[in-house]
Amino acid sequence: MLTDDGHRGNENPKRETVGASMTEVVHDSLRCGIEYGVVALPNRHVVSFQFRFLSGTGSEPVERLGLAHVVEDTLDKGTAKRSAQELSDAFDAIGAGRNGGTGRETTTFTCTVLPENFEQAVALHAEFLRTPTFPADAVDVCLDLANQEIEALDDDPAGLVDKYISRKVYGPLLGRHTLGEPETLERIERADVERFWREHFRAGRMMATVAGPLPPKQVADVLEKYFDGFGSAKRDGRNEFPIEFSPTTTHYEKDLQQEQIGICWPGLPATHAEFPTQQAVLGILSGGMSGRLFTEVREKRGLVYWVGAWQETPRGAGMIFLGASTTPERCDQTYSTLLREVDRLAEDIEQAELDRAITGILAQQDTRGDTTRSRCSELASDLFFYGRPVSFEEKTAKLRAVTVDKIRAYLRDVPRDRRCVVTLGPRALSESRGTTGHEQPLHTTHA
């Protein structure tokens, strides 16, 4: 039996320093309650940081879906001191490259600046996170644009499949779409936006990670200076959301050149002892052009241009996805080949392909690891999933411990017969004919 040995849910992190590949990594809590991590990279020319709030679409009131995105989008549209444009100008004045995003469980703000502008970038983030004014006209525009973006999603077949399959895979809470639905957006008012912000944007729900050529003590001082007293320090938002997986096959009719295929089944969460095995399985299936899916579906049969396998890991769960798009008359063959290739892995996996998959994952520590942004993002994921920084050495050792036998055990113990399948396009799969778009769990309009 596979068991969970995760370290997630570290409620009160202790100060700890991890020596990893000649870099210093600090993980601690500020007096105000913010959990933070710093990876000191002395030779870098930029600093990257991420502020993650433990609140996303899963925390929205059911009648106001889309609210988390509206909050994220309007937080910087005016502060006690500056208008939206003045704030953007202030960020540009220090050359900040920044981004915001709303996810199922979290809302994140990322920023990259030259080291000398780090403090000012933190100060500006603190300003809009702590003193937003949510101007009524900005909220109205955001709602209007969200409605337009919902319509625009109709022109994005892969995005539509993601929306449809997510609600079946995750259920009514985590399966929500970031943009919400037209009827729920209609109910959102400025007061809802402010209420959601007050409840969710505070120190106890915030995780800060920083990477770059700054001493960790200096980073902590800057964070403390600008976030001291940022709402309640009570640790919140660290529990898993309930997931309702619906093993169904559904076709959505749409006039397209290609049929989009999405397949999903439950896998293992990021904290599971056998998670590295799952990573290796995905590497073998889809890690490079020698991966099984690319080889069998594209190179040997010419069925697709695009094919892939990936995972999503909300806290406490793991979902395995397969995806491809092909012209309608080839969708049945593409679908059966995708599933067959996963099953076949248990029968004839070779040591060489496992070695390649592991090498591929580890090589990215050197390639993508050369960018400061990627180091920041990796530390942020470690804190979110494991409640602590995880050294390269530890990750490497766990991956290197994956064997062919472990892969076979994984494929035996993680069932794939309860799966969720969504197709979008002009033709249903043979096995799903008669199930066209009959489910509407979240008030959707059909494609």
Partner 1 sequence: MSNRYTQHTLSNGLRIVIETMPDVRSAAAGFMVNTGARDEVRDAAGVSHFLEHMMFKGTGKRTWRDITVDFDRMGSSYNAFTSEDRTVYYGWVPTADIEKQMELLADMMRSTLPTEEFEMERKVILEEIAMSKDNLDHVAFDFLQERLFEGHPLAWPVLGYDETVASMKRDVMWEYFQARYAPDNLILVVAGNVDAARVIATAESLCGSWKASGTKDRRMPPKLRTGAVSLQVEQFKQQVVALTFPSVSARDPVVETVSAMSTILGGDNSRFFWNIVQKGLATRAGTYHMDYDDFGVMILYATCQPENCEVVLDGMRTEAKRMGKDGVQEHEVQRVKNKRRTGLAVESEAPYHRLTQLMDDMQTHGAPRTVEQMLAEVDAVSIRSVGEYLEKYPLTGEGFLTSVGPRRWPS
- Pick from 4, 16, 63, 151: which binds partner 1 (CB under 8 A)? 151
Facing residues of 172 across strands?
none
The distance from CA 87 to its chain's CA centroid, rounded to whole angstroms, is: 27
Binding mask 289-308 for partner 1 (x = CB under 8 A): xxx--xx--xxxxxxxxx--
| 3-state DSSP assignment of residue 169 | helix
Would residue 212 be called left, alpha or beta, if left means φ above 0 and alpha means ψ between -120 and 50 degrees? left
Residue (40 or 174) nearer to partner 1, CB: 40
- Is 197:77 a contact under the CB 8 Å cutoff? no
**In whole angstroms, what is the distance from residue 413 CA to residue 415 CA?**
6
> Does residue 348 interact with partner 1 by CB under 8 A?
no
**Which is it for strands 319-326 and 249-253: parallel, antiparallel or unpaired?**
unpaired
Segment 268 to 287, residues that bind partner 1, using CB under 8 A: 287
DSSP letter at 204? G
Q: How far is the CB of 218 from partner 1 (least distance, A)?
A: 19
Q: How far is the CB of 168 from partner 1 (least distance, A)?
A: 22
Q: How far is the CB of 35 from partner 1 (least distance, A)?
A: 26
> Which one of the spans 202-210, 262-270, 323-331, 400-408 is the region binding partner 1 (CB under 8 A)?
323-331
> Does residue 361 interact with partner 1 by CB under 8 A?
yes
- Pick from 55, 59, 106, 112: which binds partner 1 (CB under 8 A)? 112
Q: Name residues whose C-beta falls within 8 Å of residue 160's C-beta, 6 or more positions apart in sequence.
A: 153, 154, 252, 254, 260, 424, 447
Burial of 144: CB neighbours in 10 Å, binned 0-12, 13-18, 19+: exposed
> Which one of the spans 49-57, 109-117, 162-170, 227-235 is the region binding partner 1 (CB under 8 A)?
109-117
> Does residue 257 interact with partner 1 by CB under 8 A?
yes
Segment 160 to 219, residues that bind partner 1, using CB under 8 A: none
| 3-state DSSP assignment of residue 185 | helix
Applying CB under 8 A, what is the total number of residues that bind partner 1?
70
Residue (306 or 386) nearer to partner 1, CB: 306
> Does residue 243 interact with partner 1 by CB under 8 A?
no
What is the DSSP annotation of 86-130?
Answer: HHHHHHHHTT-EEEEEE-SS-EEEEEEE-GGGHHHHHHHHHHHHH
Where b means 16+ CB within 10 Å and e means fewer, 107-134 reads bbbbbbbeeebbbbbbebbbbbbbebbb
> Which one of the spans 189-197, 219-227, 369-377, 438-446 is the region binding partner 1 (CB under 8 A)?
369-377
- Is 220:38 a contact under the CB 8 Å cutoff? yes
Q: How far is the CB of 116 from partner 1 (least distance, A)?
A: 11
Binding mask 4-43 for partner 1 (x = CB under 8 A): ---------------------------------------x
Residues that bind partner 1 (CB under 8 A): 43-46, 84-85, 88-89, 91-97, 112-114, 138, 140-141, 144-145, 148-149, 151-152, 154-155, 157, 255-258, 287-291, 294-295, 298-306, 325-327, 352, 355-356, 359-364, 366-373
